[in-house]
Chain A
Amino acid sequence: MSMLIKFLVAAVGAGTPLLFGTVGEILTEKTGHLNLGVEGMMSIGACIGFMAGYYTDNFFIAILAGAAAGALGALIYAVLTVTFMANQNVTGLTLTIFGIGFANFIGIFVLSKSPEGTLKLPEKITAAMRGGNIPALSKLPVVGELLFSYSPFVYIGIAIAVACAWYLNHTKAGLSLKAVGENPGAADAAGIKVTSVKYRNIIFGGAICGIGGVYCAMIINGGVWISNNVGGLGWIAVALVIFANWQPAYAIWGSFIFGALRVLKYYIPQSVLPFPIAFYDMLPFLITALVLVISSMRKSGRINLPAALGLNYFREER
C-alpha cells in the first residue's frame, strides 16, 4: 500500500514537466502552429530559470525567469513562422537544437567559473521548491501524501492546465484562438486580429514550456546543474498533445500516466518482471510512438486537431 502511494506520488512528480510542455504546446498548436521546439524552449527555460534561482535564491524569480526565457524562445519561433512564414517544422527543429545548445553552453560557462566545480542551488530555494510543507494538510494520513505533499510546481502546473481549459472553452478570447487554428481566413473575416492572436498564444505557450524546463533543471537532479537536463521530455510532450486530444484537462491525466511510465523501473522489482532497466527507460518513448500510430489511424469521430495546423496564413493568398 505504501509502496503504491509512493509510486503514485513519484508518477505525479515525473509527469509534471510533461504537463507544462503539453499544455504549452496545446496553446501553440491551437493557433495552427506546430512548434517542434518544445524541447528547446524547455531547455532555455531550464537554463535561465536555474541560473536565476542560483544567483537570487528566490523560487518565484526562478520560475518567472524560466517562463520569460521560454517565451523568448517562442518569440523567435513566432517571428519566423507567423511574420516571415518560414516552414514550421524546420523552424521548430532548429529551435530545439538551438535551445539545447544554448542551455549547455551557458551551463558549462557558469560551471567553469564556479569555485566548487558544481552548481548546486542554495538552501532557501531548495526548501521552497521541495514539497510537503503545507501546514496541517500535508500531515494527513494517505491523503496528505497523495494530494498535499508535492512540490509547488505540481500545483502551478495543474492550475495552469485548468486555467487553460477554461480559457479555451469558456471565453471569447479562447473562441478566437480556436477559430484562428481552425480557419484563419474565417477568423480574419470576422474581425479577429489573426497575427496578434497567434503571437500572444505562441509566446504564452512558450512561457509555460519554460516553467516545465525550470522543473527539469531544479528538481530532477536534486538541485544540481547537469547538461541535457530536459532529456527528451519535450518530445514526449509534443506527442502527449495528440494523446490529450488538444485538451489541457486531458493533458493532466496524460502527463501523469507518462510520468508513471518514467518511474516504473524503480517500483517493479526485478524478481517480478526481469526486464533490463533500459527497457523501462525506453517505455515512455515506445508508448509515445504507439500513441502517434494509433491516433493517426483514428479517423472518425471528432478529434480536436486544429484544421489549419502546420499551415501558415497569408491573407492575400487565393
Chain B
Amino acid sequence: MAKQEKSLYAIECRKITKTFGQVLANDEIDLNVKYGEILALLGENGSGKTTLMNMLSGIYHPDSGQIFIGGSEVKINSPVDAMNLGIGMIHQHFKLVEAFRAMDNIILGTKGKKEKNKVTSEKIKEISQTYGLEIEPEKYVCDMSVSEKQTVEILKVLYKGAEILILDEPTAVLTPQETEKLFQILRKMKEKGCAIIIITHKLQEVLEISDRVTILRKGKSIDTVETSTCDAQKLTELMVGRPVSLEINHPPVKESKTILKVVDLTVYKADGTKAIDDISFDIRSGEILGVAGVAGSGQKELCETIAGLMEASKGAILFHKENLLGKTPSEIIEKGVSMSFVPEDRLGMGLVASMGMTDNMLLKSYQKGKGAFVNRKPAREMAEGLIKQLDIVTPGTETPVRLLSGGNVQKVLLGREIESAPSVLITAYPVRGLDINSSYTIYDLLNEQKKKNVAVMYIGEDLDVLLELSDRIMVLCHGKITGIVDTQGTTKEEIGMMMTGENKFSDQEKEAQR
C-alpha cells in the first residue's frame, strides 16, 4: 500500500493548519497531486490558496499537519528546501532580473562553478526542447514579452530539476493565444510525468486544462472533483457555497451621444518611448466602452492623460467640444470627468491608504469648501451613506482604508467617484483581485451608472467579463488601437488576435478612417 502511494502521489498534504494571529487561513486542508496530473486549485480571494502554496514552497510553515513529497514526510523550511525537493513555484508577478539575460536568470542561485555561456546555453536549449518551450537564452529579459518572461520563469524551475510545478494565476497576463501555448507546454510536462498545480480564477481554464479540481472555501478544503464531471456552474457553487448566477446584466443602450472624443492622441512616456500612438475614439453616454489589451499597452497612460496627469504631445481630448488637454486635473474633475483608477497595488492612486474613509472623501471635495477650515461633516455623512449603500464592511469611517479588504477598498474608491455624479466615469481594473461576489457588485454599480446615462470606460483584464459587460470594446496593443468592435457578434478569439496586434480593420478601412 505504502509503496503504491510512493509512485502515485507527488504531493500529499494531510490536515494542514495555519493561523495568522486570530485568522485561520488554512483549516485542516487535505490536498494531493499525482505525478502526471494537473490539479487546479480553485477558491475565492482569502480562501487560503496562496497560504497553502506558500507553505509548499517554503515561505510559511504549517502550524500542524503533514506534507509528503513522493511518499515520504518532509519539512520545508525555506525556498531552498522546496527547490531541493523538486518543487518549483512560478509566481504571479515574475521574479526576474530585468537587466539580466534569460540564461543568467535561469542559473541564478544554482550551486557550483559558473560554466561557459555556451555550455549553459546548450543545457537550456536541451531542456526547452524536451518540453516544447521556445527561448533565446542570450536575450535580455527587459526586451522580452510577457509570455517570453513566463517561459523563462518555467525554465528556471525546470533547470533546477523541479518535477512539481506550482503556477499562481499564470494566465492573468496572457492573451488567449499565449494561454493556449502555455497549456500545450503544461500538457507536455504532464506527459513527461510532472505534477502540476495551477491556481486560477478563470473557470473556463480550469475546465480546459485540469484533470481534477480541489476547491477551497474560507480556509477549508471543500471538495476534490474530477474535472470531466463538472461544469462552470457547479464549480462556482462549490466555490461560493451557494448557487450564483454567472450572468452579468447587460441593460440595453438607451440614448447614445458622444460625450468624450479623443482625436489623434499621442503620448510619450518619461523614457521617451511612445505610450499612446495616434489613437482616436469616442466614449458615448449610456454606454460602457470596454478597453482590452495586454497589461502595459497604454491603458494607464490613456487614463492619466484624460485625467490631466500626463501631457499629450499631439491630438485633442474633446469633452462636449471643449479640449481637455492643458487643463489641470481639478479643472477636469469639475467638468464631471471622473476617474477611478485601480493600479496593481490598488491603493497607489486614488485613495490615501493611511487615511480613513471620511478623509478620503474629502480629498476630492475640500477645495469647494469656503475659507481655510475643512468641514468634515458632509464627507462623514457621505462615507456613512456609502457604507450603507454598498455594504462596505469597515469598523468605522475613520478606520484607515488600507485595513479594509480589497473588495471594500474598491467599493470606497468607486463609490466616491460615483457620488460626484460624473458624466464620464473611467475605471481601470475595478475588480482586480476581487472575489466573485464583490466583482458582481461592482458590475452592477457600473451598469447603474450606465442607466443614468453616464459614459463609462471600463479597462479590464478578463475578456469574458469585457464581452458581457461592455457595449463596445476597444483593443489596445503597444499604444495603438487595433480595433473597436461591437460586443454583439465578437468572439474572445477575435479580441485576442487584436490584442497581439492583428488589425481588425482592413487597409482600405484604415484609409477611409483618415
Cα distance A186–B97 when bound, in Å? 7
Per-residue CB proximity of A288-306 to B under 8 Å, as 1/0?
0000000000011010100
Interface bracket on A: 20 to 34
Contact of B79 among A171, A182, A188 (CB under 8 A): A188
CB interface residues, B 109-139, toward A, < 8 Å: 109-114
> Count the A-B residue pairs with Cβ separation under 8 angstroms: how many?
65
Instruction: Tell me, yes or no, whether B216 is within 8 Å of chain A by CB.
Output: no
Contact of B108 among A171, A179, A302, A318 (CB under 8 A): A179
Say yes or no: B271 contacts A190, CB within 8 Å.
no
Instruction: Tell me, yes or no, whether A185 is within 8 Å of chain B by CB.
Output: yes
Cα distance A188–B57 when bound, in Å? 12
Say yes or no: B97 contacts A178, CB within 8 Å.
yes
Cα distance A16–B394 when bound, in Å? 62
Say yes or no: B99 contacts A172, CB within 8 Å.
no
B contact residues, total (Cβ < 8 Å) = 27
Residues of B within 8 A of A302 (CB): 99
Instruction: Tell me, yes or no, whether B104 is within 8 Å of chain A by CB.
Output: yes
Say yes or no: B107 contacts A172, CB within 8 Å.
yes
With contact pairs A183-B98, A307-B99 given, residues A176 and B108 touching in the complex (Cβ less than 8 Å): yes
Say yes or no: A300 contacts B271, CB within 8 Å.
yes
Q: Give, as a whole number of angstroms, the nearest-CB distance from A177 to chain B.
A: 11
Say yes or no: B99 contacts A182, CB within 8 Å.
yes
Q: Give, as a whole number of angstroms, the nearest-CB distance from B344 to chain A.
A: 11
Q: Give, as a whole number of angstroms, the nearest-CB distance from B219 to chain A.
A: 19
Instruction: Tell me, yes or no, whether B67 is within 8 Å of chain A by CB.
Output: no
Say yes or no: B114 contacts A172, CB within 8 Å.
yes
Instruction: Tell me, yes or no, whether A189 is within 8 Å of chain B by CB.
Output: yes
Question: Which of chain B's residues has its CB closest to A318's CB?
Answer: B345
CB interface residues, A 219-241, toward B, < 8 Å: none
Cα distance A183–B97 when bound, in Å? 6
Contact of B272 among A171, A190, A299 (CB under 8 A): A299
Question: Which of chain A's residues has its CB closest to B270's CB?
Answer: A299
Q: Give, as a whole number of angstroms, the nearest-CB distance from B143 to chain A.
A: 10
Say yes or no: A179 contacts B272, CB within 8 Å.
no
Say yes or no: A182 contacts B108, CB within 8 Å.
no
Instruction: Tell me, yes or no, whether B95 is within 8 Å of chain A by CB.
Output: yes
Contact of A187 among B83, B108, B271 (CB under 8 A): B108
Per-residue CB proximity of A91-133 to B under 8 Å, as 1/0?
0000000000000000000000000000000000000000000
Say yes or no: B271 contacts A299, CB within 8 Å.
yes
Interface centre among B79, B83, B89, B108 (most CB of A within 10 A): B108
With contact pairs A175-B114, A189-B79 given, residues A307 and B272 touching in the complex (Cβ less than 8 Å): no
Residues of A within 8 A of B91 (CB): 189
Residues of B within 8 A of A171 (CB): 114
Instruction: Tell me, yes or no, whether A80 is within 8 Å of chain B by CB.
Output: no
Instruction: Tell me, yes or no, whether B100 is within 8 Å of chain A by CB.
Output: yes
Contact of A190 among B98, B108, B345 (CB under 8 A): B108
Cα distance A307–B98 when bound, in Å? 9
Residues of A within 8 A of B95 (CB): 183, 185-186, 188-190
Instruction: Tell me, yes or no, whether B156 is within 8 Å of chain A by CB.
Output: yes
Residues of A within 8 A of B271 (CB): 299-300
Say yes or no: A300 contacts B272, CB within 8 Å.
yes
Say yes or no: B98 contacts A191, CB within 8 Å.
no
Say yes or no: A176 contacts B272, CB within 8 Å.
no
Q: Give, as a whole number of angstroms, the nearest-CB distance from B193 to chain A.
A: 24
Instruction: Tell me, yes or no, whether B413 is within 8 Å of chain A by CB.
Output: no
Say yes or no: A192 contacts B108, CB within 8 Å.
yes
Interface centre among B89, B109, B272 (most CB of A within 10 A): B109
Say yes or no: A175 contacts B108, CB within 8 Å.
yes
With contact pairs A300-B272, A307-B98 given, residues A187 and B114 touching in the complex (Cβ less than 8 Å): no
- Can you name 18 A-B pairs with beta carbons within 8 Å? A172-B111, A172-B112, A172-B114, A175-B114, A176-B108, A178-B100, A182-B99, A183-B97, A186-B94, A186-B96, A187-B108, A188-B95, A190-B95, A190-B108, A190-B156, A191-B79, A300-B271, A307-B98
8 extra A-B contacts, CB within 8 A, seeds A182-B100, A192-B108: A172-B110, A172-B114, A178-B100, A183-B95, A189-B79, A190-B156, A299-B272, A300-B272
